[in-house]
Chain A
Amino acid sequence: MPLSAVKAVAKGQNGVGAFILQCKRLDFHYCDWAGSSRGMNAFIQKRLPQFARENPQIEITVSPRPHKHPVVKGHYINGREKAVCVRNMTTEMILEKASLLRDASGEKLKRVNKPVTSVNESVRGIWSPYHGAQYKI
């Protein structure tokens, strides 16, 4: 066999072609009694149906969490989850947090130093002394 092949798997590039929203599920936890859930309860009653209608890709779960602060929890395709405590927040602030969780990729936060990240190799070849400005003694 003069020529054989190396097995590989094609890598997905989310957003090139199809885009898959990385947030799978949002859990909204509230408490009926505690004052810190006042904004959350109003959010669930007034704003959540519209939020869910705008984001059909996300499974939304509402469940009580008695005697605890309200929490919004996002579950992501990479298996991680992010929880945000929304105690004493108003409806708008909770919507902001829910949107943040929706737009997150689920990855750990990391600093991005380079303006461009590419899967392609650099097109520059091997350095050669005969190219460019030559060193003069």
Chain B
Amino acid sequence: MIYLTLFLEFFKIGLFTFGGGFGMLPLIEEAVIAHGWATAEQFYNFVGVCESTPGPIAVNTATYIGTMQGGLLGGIVASLGVVMPSFIIILLIVSVLKNFAENRFVKAFLKGVKPVVVALILSTGTILLAKAVGYVSLTEFSTNWISTAVFAILCIVWLLAKKVWNKKLSAVTLILISAVLGIVLSLI
């Protein structure tokens, strides 16, 4: 029963995500690969698409995976799944557990979770970067010069924009720049 599986998987993901959408990526990747719904490469290509469309990344990826696996209904069920834990927990807090955020144990729990989330995000980023520049497996590496060059150029452009023009480039801008660079560098 694909709808139930989608709902439960994304419910679990919604329940264990702290610190915004990026913290969710490793969890979604694990679920997607475990069920054979997509490869890691397909998944992160889609994350690139998500970064250029509006809305929360969690809902976007849930809708995408759900739609791929079970059509429109699959998309709806997966997004409801990812949203439901937040919905229920916030309702409980505003109506019954008013002092939740001030609770000492909640604070202690979150304090412990924080470094884990940062480690999950940074390790995901590191692994993605390693794969983009050419890591295949422990015994195989074939340098992808284009991805490597694009990453280097993005770092330079980002720093220039920040230090020289005092501007923070948005995710959409960075995605667009990288897409153009990808095409141009592939053609020359």
A and B interact:
no
B interface, CB within 8 angstroms of A: none
Binding site for B on A (CB under 8 A): none
